[in-house]
Amino acid sequence: MPSKYVKAWDEIFGGQEGIKDVLKQVRSGGVIGVPAGILRRYGRRKGWYGRIVLSGKGIVKSTGAAHVNALGRILQSHIEPKEKIECVVREENGQLTLYLSRSSESIQKRKIKRERRGEESEEKGITDEDLGDFYILVSRFEKDLRKFIKQKLGSKYTKRLRNDMPKLVEEWEHLRKKDEEWGIEPEKDLINYATIGNYIEIIRRYSRLFTGSPQELSAVETKLRDFANYGRNPLMHCRTITLQKYFSAKAAVNYLKKWIERKTQYKR
């Protein structure tokens, strides 16, 4: 029977494309950190530390923990014949993070060396080219999400929300009015004033329309928050987009796109 953690890692990476994206960056050098808190939903452990080194031929070293062995299973087919990828799961300040590196030198040793040199390579922002692509990814997905929500609620979605969630619609109308007062052309479609929190409220209110189980609802909410915290919000506030934020947001988008495809026939 496949390990329960295989599904957890698939969710963390956002599917095969997410794995390819992360490994592509690993191969360019440095250490890539990926938030892995979702693991807690799939099991309980006294300690989450784990390490595995993979080569094109299989597992080179492993601490033997079930969650890192499951990680090895889903990464193995993506490892090139002559390379070695080191993966370490750590719990730091209550947060679980997966660190991946191509170098044979241990992640911990390189981290210590960087600290001694005063370097913070893991916090380095993405390139301007990647930033442009990232903006398109984030903005396009949010538009797709709005379209999906409207499709599920029906052509008279505003009337439906006004009846079931009047405060939400009032909030959007207030924002539209503020645009008018400031001389800004208001949005024709009220849902364009929605926040990530609003999307989550709607999905919760109509959970049977949007999800098939409490577990799926929880996963969707988590990924929407990841999308906001690592993608949408940093872009809106002109914050540095680190590699960790970049890949976390992309993994969230990949997962949410698959969720949308499962629930409707709608695809881009």
DSSP 67-127: HHHHHHHHHGGGS-TT-EEEEEEEEETTEEEEEEE-SSS-HHHHHHHHHHHT--GGGPBPP
Among candidate residues 240, 254, 20, the one with its CA nearest the CA of residue 137: 254
Q: What pLDDT shows up at residue 24? A: 86
SS (H, E, C) 174-211: HHHHHHHHCCCCCCCCHHHHCCHHHHHHHHHHCHHHHC
Q: What pLDDT shows up at residue 110? A: 52
Among candidate residues 263, 221, 250, the one with its CA nearest the CA of residue 13: 250
Question: Exposed (0-12), middle (13-18) or buried (19+): which is 34, by Cβ within 10 Å?
Answer: buried
Q: What pLDDT shows up at residue 16? A: 87
Quick check: 193 and 170 in contact, CB under 8 A? no
Can you say whether the dihedral through the CA atoms of 36, 39, 44, 48 is positive or negative? Answer: negative
Quick check: 136 and 235 in contact, CB under 8 A? no
> Interior CA angle at 251 toward 248 and 253, to 5°?
110
Q: Which two tokens stand for residue 110?
A: 């390189």
Amino acid of residue 141: F
pLDDT along the chain (268 residues), means of 10: 83 87 82 87 89 90 92 92 90 86 58 54 66 90 96 95 96 95 94 96 96 90 91 87 84 91 68
Q: What pLDDT shows up at residue 115? A: 56
Segment 161-167 long-range contacts (CB within 8 Å, at least 24 positions apart)? 161/202, 164/205, 165/201, 165/202, 165/205
Q: What pLDDT shows up at residue 85? A: 92
Angle between helices 66-75 and 4-13 (to 10 degrees): 60
Q: What is the dihedral of CA 128, 134, 140, 145, to 10 degrees?
A: -150
Is 0.85 surpassed by the pTM of this model?
A: no
